[in-house]
Structure 1
Amino acid sequence: MNTSHFKYIFFSLIIGLSSCKKTEEAVIIDLNELTVNSIHRAFENGDYNSEQLVNAYLKRVESYNPQLNALTVINPEALETARLLDKEYKETGVLRPLHGIPLIVKDNFNTKGLPTTAGALALKDFIPEEDAFMVARLLEAGAIILAKSNMAEWAFSPMHSESSTAGTTRNPYNLAHVPAGSSGGTGAAVAANLGTIGLGTDTGNSIRGPSSHNALVGFRSTLGLTSRSGVVPLYLRNDVAGPMCRTVEDAVKMLELIATYDPKDPVTANSKGKIPENYSQFLQKDGLKGARIGVLRTLSENDPDPEISKLFENAISDMRELGAQLIDSVEIPDFDNLRQNQWCNDFRKDIEAYLAEYVKNDTIRTLEDIVRIGSTSEYAVDGLNFFLENSGRSQNPEIECLDPYSDERRIAFREAIEKKMDELELDAIIYPSWNHKPAKIETFAEGYKGDNSQIISPHTGQPAFTVPMGFTSGNLPAGLQFLGRMYDEPTLIKLTYSYEQGTRHRHPPFTEELTQGK
């Protein structure tokens, strides 16, 4: 047994023993790796209620967030909301799907009565009048917003999570390293058990990158399966919002609630008739048995860190032992050419539409207004100046930005992948979410390499899920990514759940290190 696992088991035992102690004044709750199901069982057994749970999380946040800087705003109504949900359960005996579950929300989701800043000075005083569609769905299901989380300002950075409103978030597994971006605050908070479940957004990497760097499960679902209305956009052509959780099962519980048509987000019309009655039916421990999995060496062998390569080879071996057939490797015809010139997006158009619909402030209407107000993040300043100089467009301004479902370049890329999957009868394609370890905060720009998440899924619209693949030296997590066909979340759920249950790679950060702020 290595030192890391010994420390993990030791502290789990200490926490487990303390959780057995009860007093008349309070219940001591072991927050270590709680899930929706374990919390609901505790409610049903009378072990504790939602108010006690929220209070326990708030105390943990007070202890650990100063070191992580993952959370920006604590919801002052969280305890009162929990009391109301406890009263409801006492009267009805019925638990809603996420009844009393503390939720961490990335700071680019509109939250009624709470600041929504996208990490930017231009929005530091903006308090929405209503919740984003996705947030409203989760609250209706009984979730409680515990806090808003820090993010890369305007979601610009896939590398790190630094904002003008809150500063820099650290990786809970090793505080000298980044949690990736832009949903790094959600990633760090959920990984460190500062909340039960989390919401992030993913334009190219920003759910899957932080999930990979923080030993979490991150779902980037099919573009069009879920709504983005009420979310500060980066590029609506690519933006997807979704779950960041410690388990596949919890991520699936969230997906069931947010996968639906939203008339305020036209892209979701494409999901009609493609959503099953529920996704939980696909949580099958033997889901890898008989599955055909393609290995995309084109990505896995692109200048990888040797430790990541070893974890990836172990993952392939584990899947074989779990009953899968691995097709090693898969070659996508004309892949290098098809992936080029896919970043055709218009930040100006998308952000100015958001400002007009939600912020409604005459002094903050345009990209020029945002630039005038400024930023304390050098990375964000560079990004804003780039968009200002290039009329708000990214990469090649000569390329026309077409509808993501009708753009011939995107369609050709997706069809090449899915045609190869059909030809080889593949259920999914796998590759490391990142080929390198999380970079150090002090040198994140130089250390940023190996990000595979931005290459396929955001451009083709296909779903891609990341799950923990293990740890490298320095106690740094790594993730394994599964790419599926459009709207084939059921298959990805079966595969990722089976892999997760068969390997059990995730463990929480060591409490000792967080406490001491190492």
Structure 2
Amino acid sequence: MTNWTIESLAAALRAGEVTVPEVAQYYVDRIMAEDAEGPNAVLTLNPFWMEDAQRLQATLQNEAPLLHGIPILVKDNIDTYTMGNSAGSVALKQVPVESDAPIVHRLHEQGALILGKTNLSEWANFRCMASVSGWSSLGGQTRNALNTRWSPSGSSSGSAAAVAAGFAVAAIGTETDGSIVSPSAHHGLIGLKPQVGRVSRTGIIPIAWSQDTAGPMTRTVRDSAIILDAISGPDPDDPVTLSAENILEKNLLNECNASSLSGRRLGFLKPDEQFGTEVHEAFPRVIEQLRQAGAECIELSPLPSLATLQDHEITIMTSEFPEALANYFINRRPESPLKTLADVHRFNLDHADTVLSVFGQTWFDRCLSAPSTQTQMYAEALASIDAFRQEMSEDWFLKHNLEAIVTPSNGPAWLIDHQHGDRYTGGNSHLAAVSGWPSITVPYTESDGRPLGALFVAPAWQEARLLNIAFAFETYIQRTDET
């Protein structure tokens, strides 16, 4: 049962081979039996999971959406009326949520069974510069499902670990920079970060409106396409989604039908010095596999603007976070005694024995002294990001007539270390995160049992193209592994 995909389980449900309550019971039993001593991925179970499962079974029809009755887990920085929303912080444990986030509402409309909420790196890994991925004051330490000594990466740690452990068919994560693709890559999963504006962010505890998004974390590219279709669409409370209403592709699953990469033009970036020897030795295999599958692969030179990109990204995130969080509290949690980042910062100090027991809140410190979004410094950072986006478009995509670029997603997982924090082993999520463009990670090999992923990035709103390429690569990898 743990090998079910959305499509295979949907077929089994419609054939009467299994019922929604039986499936739900199976996954809940696995969580109860294995999670505490295993990945510690699931923070909260839906208190009405059996009632929901029975209702979905009663309304199951052959023409129902593919997600009807499919157990999904949702990261606990997304509003759910019945389960709250904590960002992993004890500060928000008792603060009520008045309604589901639009993304949760869309999943319900498609008949998905929201089985529970997953743990995460507290405040989506934006509380401390020396954090430990997967740890939160409310949920404790999430561990890598493949080896509990390894880091799960973050911040959607629980979502990745839960899918890899077989606690649900798929999960929803969120990303500002790396928080979907990195934990997915470290668990050998597909992680899809959509274009900013494709998926509503209303009801998701924010970091930066310039980069925040939510997306699927799954075992297959086709499953990611199904979920992305379900959660995409306009939201009047998230204006960025309205501008894209008329250009969104529909039926993204139709794009996952090509088993050949023949003639596709792809640019590639070699791993830089942040990556260890494992990735330097393994990544050329990706390019070889792509070429064997028929793709034209063009080596790209790093862009000059990459040298200062992180500084501009930090300015934008630290400036936007205090304002975005205050707006979230006002609009989504009006009964919260915490109204601002300063309130949360003070709460953490007052409860330091619990909240700050593993790491501090240096990102919060920096945000409280950051320039506002009305300053020249913030405007200059935005202009620099725009220039980077234009440089990518012109010097990479247009110059070489590329459809996508491919680069390493991650280095191998490191050991969990509460004393010294994360030991980052490399990643390239910033290319899509800062530009707002879509990206997807696909596993291609392992290093001593630790998965490595290839990250594909496409220009704005090109998820259909990205899924087509990723599916073809996934298919080729599976075919060569079988032979």
Q: Same fold (TM over 0.5)?
A: yes
CA 97–45 in structure 1, closer or farther in 2 if over 3 Å, else same: closer
Shift of 1:135: 1.0
Q: For 1:253, which of 197, 203, 226 is the aligned residue?
A: 226
CA contact 2:56–2:68 (8 Å) conserved in 1:
yes
Question: Which residue of 2 is the match for residue 466 of structure 1?
Answer: 441
Question: Which residue of 1 is the match for residue 384 of structure 2?
Answer: 409
SS at the partner of 1:457? helix
1:351 equivalent in alignment to 2:325: yes
Question: Which residue of 1 is the match for residue 198 of structure 2?
Answer: 225
Question: Which residue of 2 is the match for residue 391 of structure 1?
Answer: 368
CA contact 1:204–1:453 (8 Å) conserved in 2:
no
Q: Which moved more, 1:179-188 or 1:281-290?
A: 281-290
Task: Tell me how far apart the structure 2 counterparts of residues 359 and 136 of structure 1 sit (CA, whole Å).
Answer: 17
Q: For 1:75, which of 29, 46, 50 is the aligned residue?
A: 46
Q: For 2:119, which of 150, 153, 157 is the aligned residue?
A: 150
Question: Which residue of 2 is the match for residue 49 of structure 1?
Answer: 19
Map 1:327-476; keep pairs closer than 5 Å.
327-337=298-308, 340-343=311-314, 344-345=316-317, 346-361=320-335, 363-374=337-348, 376-378=354-356, 382-383=360-361, 385-388=362-365, 390-391=367-368, 393=370, 400-402=377-379, 407-419=382-394, 420-434=396-410, 436-442=411-417, 445=420, 448-473=423-448, 475-476=449-450
Question: Which residue of 2 is the match for residue 308 of structure 1?
Answer: 279
Q: CA RMSD in A?
A: 2.5
**Deviations 1:39-62 (CA, angstroms, capped at 9, x unpaired):** 011112211011100001111111
CA contact 2:312–2:385 (8 Å) conserved in 1:
no
Shift of 1:336: 2.3
Shift of 1:459: 1.3
**Deviations 1:411-458 (CA, angstroms, capped at 9, x unpaired):** 110111111211101111111111x21111126856522332443222
CA contact 2:371–2:378 (8 Å) conserved in 1:
no
Amino acid corresponding to residue 309 of structure 1 in structure 2: H
Amino acid corresponding to residue 417 of structure 1 in structure 2: M
Shift of 1:237: 2.1
Shift of 1:477: 1.2
Q: Which moved more, 1:191-200 or 1:454-463?
A: 454-463
1:270 equivalent in alignment to 2:243: yes
Task: Tell me how far apart the structure 2 counterparts of residues 411 and 183 of structure 1 sit (CA, whole Å).
Answer: 27
CA 253–221 in structure 1, closer or farther in 2 if over 3 Å, else same: same
CA contact 2:40–2:141 (8 Å) conserved in 1:
yes
Shift of 1:460: 1.1
Shift of 1:506: 13
1:195 equivalent in alignment to 2:171: no
SS at the partner of 1:198? strand
Shift of 1:377: 4.3
Task: Tell me how far apart the structure 2 counterparts of residues 234 and 506 of structure 1 sit (CA, whole Å).
Answer: 41
**Deviations 1:231-252 (CA, angstroms, capped at 9, x unpaired):** 1112222111111111110000
1:480 equivalent in alignment to 2:451: no
CA contact 1:467–1:480 (8 Å) conserved in 2:
yes
Question: Which residue of 2 is the match for residue 503 of structure 1?
Answer: 477
Q: For 1:128, which of 68, 79, 97 is the aligned residue?
A: 97
Q: Which runs of 5+ in 1 are unaligned?
A: 1-30, 508-518
Question: Which residue of 2 is the match for residue 209 of structure 1?
Answer: 182
Task: Tell me how far apart the structure 1 counterparts of residues 202 and 480 of structure 2 sit (CA, whole Å).
Answer: 32
CA 110–334 in structure 1, closer or farther in 2 if over 3 Å, else same: closer
Shift of 1:322: 1.0
Task: Tell me how far apart the structure 1 counterparts of residues 13 and 336 of structure 2 sit (CA, whole Å).
Answer: 48
**Deviations 1:210-255 (CA, angstroms, capped at 9, x unpaired):** 0011111111111111110011112222111111111110000011
CA 424–399 in structure 1, closer or farther in 2 if over 3 Å, else same: same
What is the TM-score normalised by the length of structure 1?
A: 0.85
4+ aligned runs moved over 4 Å, structure 1? 337-340, 394-399, 443-447
SS at the partner of 1:252? helix
Shift of 1:498: 0.6
SS at the partner of 1:504? helix
Q: Which runs of 5+ in 2 are unaligned?
A: none
What is the TM-score normalised by the length of structure 2?
A: 0.91
Shift of 1:306: 2.0
Amino acid corresponding to residue 145 of structure 1 in structure 2: I
**Deviations 1:133-157 (CA, angstroms, capped at 9, x unpaired):** 1111011100011110000111125
Shift of 1:334: 4.3
Amino acid corresponding to residue 471 of structure 2 in structure 1: Y
Shift of 1:379: 8.2
SS at the partner of 1:477? strand
CA 338–43 in structure 1, closer or farther in 2 if over 3 Å, else same: closer
| Percent of pairs with identical residues | 29
**Deviations 1:22-55 (CA, angstroms, capped at 9, x unpaired):** xxxxxxxxx2221111001111221101110000
CA contact 2:409–2:454 (8 Å) conserved in 1:
yes
